[in-house]
Amino acid sequence: MGGAKYTYISDRGDKLSKLDRFLVCIGFLEQWPGAALTALERRYSDHRPLLLSTTPMDFGHVPFRFYNSWLEMNGFMEFVNGKCSQFVFNGPADLGLATKLRWLKNRIKEWVSAEKKKTDGLYNCWKSKVAELELLAEERSLQQFELDQRLDLRQLMAEVDKQKIADTRQKSRARWAVDGDENSSFFHFIVNANISSNRINGILDGDEWITNPIVIKQKFQDFFA
């Protein structure tokens, strides 16, 4: 909640409480993970009005995140080593390193995006083929080569699903030895909760509550300059 820590103040002003809230379900957070709650100015009541906003706030590019599953992708290490050897820069070493890392990051993002599109296409083909075999099994007994083909396709699909679960687990930062077994709903709830709690919905500059991302960035830059 932005704007204030408490929603209620007693008549004497010696008791502060957080009484007023918005109750939402997991489906709401999945639909609007960037929803922001702001406590407005207290004027005509001892309670602060609450404003729930689902307007997306763009703070620029999302920070680059490296997923462990990329290391298991065929050709990834060869691609990275090849790109590193191709990079050429003339200038200070520290600037060269920063430029190389930024350039390599963009190349990795392009390669991973292309590989994921290719994998998604294959996954859909495997899924369609498995569905055809299962429909065929309802009409007649599958032959041995068809049973083997279905088993192989399901194993390939399981590998892709395993990679997606690993990425979601890393994104959620959940410790499954403590939090329990894998659960897709819990995965996405943790991910969306992290997105909501890690973002800065606004800052209080004097008596003004600022929510414009550009102004917020400038205020932080001026403060730490």
* Domain residue extents for the chain: 8-59+199-224, 68-197
Q: What is the pLDDT of residue 174?
A: 60
pLDDT by 10s per residue, the chain, length 225: 777 788 888 877 678 888 888 888 888 877 887 788 888 887 778 888 888 888 766 666 667 788 888 888 889 999 999 998 888 888 888 888 888 888 999 999 999 999 999 999 999 999 999 999 888 888 888 899 999 999 999 999 999 998 888 888 777 766 554 555 555 566 666 666 666 666 777 888 887 888 888 888 888 888 887
Q: What is the pLDDT of residue 177?
A: 46
Q: What is the pLDDT of residue 186?
A: 62
User: In angstroms, how far apart are the furthest CA atoms of the chain?
Assistant: 83
- Give phi and psi for 212, each to the nearest 5: -70, 120
C-alpha of 152 from chain center: 31
- Give phi and psi for 124, each to the nearest 5: -65, -40
The single-letter code of the amino acid at 94 is D
Task: Write the CA distances from 100 to 47, 106, 178, 214, integer angstroms.
Answer: 54, 10, 39, 28
The helix/strand/coil state of 58 is: coil
Q: What is the pLDDT of residue 173?
A: 66
Q: What is the pLDDT of residue 90?
A: 87
